[in-house]
């Protein structure tokens, strides 16, 4: 899986595929992943090593991956009300588990049901503030930036968080970083825990995604900060995952 995360494909290599099937039957966690990389994973990045050590690139919503910057004056945006729902926060935040356990990291994971169907284009700074998220406490709309982003950009953020680690802990590297990113995505899009990789991948592709950047005090704003909003395929549920470390 370390080489698969970097682009290798072993689907047609019989000894490896046979071994992978055997691992799956033994319920090895990594065997849930396929022996090839999907399009959503194409932007995943790895540390680059120089003479003085490694240099890690962390995706930002202010660079590649933006589909559109949300305008506060969008006349077609629908306002909506959202009701908090029960959510497995630990599963959603699996990609930042080491941030919390071995550093100063924190996360917020919330799920809301909307009163009417929406799209990611309806998610604005003002609407997010109405959700009363802890990560945006005391912020104003001017303190919050919301961008429509691609699915591969979302994966790159979650993969980087898991594989590279936070401010102090090292990450879990490519194989387990890939697994953690996909399990976080599975929780955000709301598929069953027993869902196959293909089912999760389909739900991720059918969801709409936004990124959040904010100067709110909850975020350390050092280097390890991100916020993700998922509008699930039913267009009636919004999942939010934010994390920060220093």
Following DSSP, what letter does each residue of 204-217 receive, concatenated?
A: HHHSEEEEEEE--T
Average pLDDT across each block of 10 residues of the chain; the chain has 246 residues. List them in order. Answer: 79 82 80 89 67 50 51 62 93 93 91 93 93 95 94 94 84 88 96 93 96 94 91 96 94
For residue 69, the SS3 value is strand
DSSP state letter for 235: S
Q: Provide the 3-class DSSP secondary structure of residue 43.
A: coil
Q: What does the DSSP 8-state code read for residue 95?
A: G
Instruction: Count Cβ atoms below 10 Å from residue 198 Cβ, excluding itself.
Output: 10
Long-range (24+ apart) CB contacts under 8 A made by 75-81 are 76/121, 77/121, 77/122, 77/124, 78/116, 78/118, 78/122, 79/122, 79/127, 80/114, 80/115, 80/116, 80/118, 80/122, 80/127, 81/114, 81/115
Instruction: Quote the tokens at residue 196.
Output: 């196959």
**Helix residue ranges per DSSP H, 14-61:** 14-25
Q: The dihedral of CA 154, 185, 106, 145: what is its sign?
A: positive
d(CA 35, CA 60): 28
pLDDT of the residue at 66: 54
pLDDT score of 62: 44
- Which pLDDT does position 58 carry in this prediction? 55
Would you state the pLDDT for residue 47? Answer: 59
Residue 246 is classified by DSSP as -
Q: Is 50 exposed, middle or buried (0-12, 13-18, 19+ CB in 10 A)?
A: exposed
Residue 132: the pLDDT is 95
Question: What is the reported pLDDT for 88?
Answer: 94
Angle subtended at Cα 97 by Cα 88 and Cα 226, rounded to the nearest 5 degrees: 85
* Contact by Cβ (8 Å): 232, 219: no
Strands (E), the chain: 48-50, 53-55, 66-69, 82-85, 106-114, 144-149, 208-214, 224-231, 237-245
Encode burial over 139-156: b for 16+ CB neighbours within 10 A, e otherwise.
beeeebbbbbbebbbbbb
* 67 burial level (CB within 10 Å; 0-12, 13-18, 19+): middle
């Amino acid at each position: 899986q370390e080489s698969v995360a970097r682009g290798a494909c072993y689907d047609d290599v019989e000894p490896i595929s046979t071994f992978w099937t055997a691992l799956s039957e033994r319920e090895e966690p990594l065997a849930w992943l396929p022996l090839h990389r999907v399009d959503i994973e194409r932007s995943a990045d790895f540390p680059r090593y120089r003479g003085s050590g490694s240099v890690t690139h962390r995706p930002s919503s202010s660079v590649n991956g933006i589909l559109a910057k949300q305008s506060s004056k969008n006349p077609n945006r629908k306002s909506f009300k959202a009701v908090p729902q029960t959510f497995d926060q630990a599963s959603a935040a699996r990609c930042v588990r080491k941030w919390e356990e071995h550093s100063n990291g924190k996360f917020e994971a919330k799920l809301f049901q909307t009163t009417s169907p929406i799209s990611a284009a309806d998610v604005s700074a003002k609407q997010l503030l109405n959700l009363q998220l802890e990560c945006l406490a005391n912020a104003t709309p001017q303190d919050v930036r919301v961008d429509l982003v691609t699915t591969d950009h979302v994966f790159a953020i979650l993969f980087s968080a898991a594989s590279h680690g936070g401010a102090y802990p090292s990450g879990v590297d490519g194989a387990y970083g890939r697994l953690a990113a996909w399990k976080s995505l599975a929780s955000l899009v709301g598929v069953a825990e027993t869902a196959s990789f293909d089912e999760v991948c389909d739900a991720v592709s059918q969801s709409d995604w936004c990124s959040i950047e904010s100067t709110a005090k909850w975020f350390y704003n050092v280097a390890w900060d991100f916020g993700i909003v998922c509008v699930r395929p039913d267009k009636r549920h919004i999942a939010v995952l934010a994390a920060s470390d220093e």
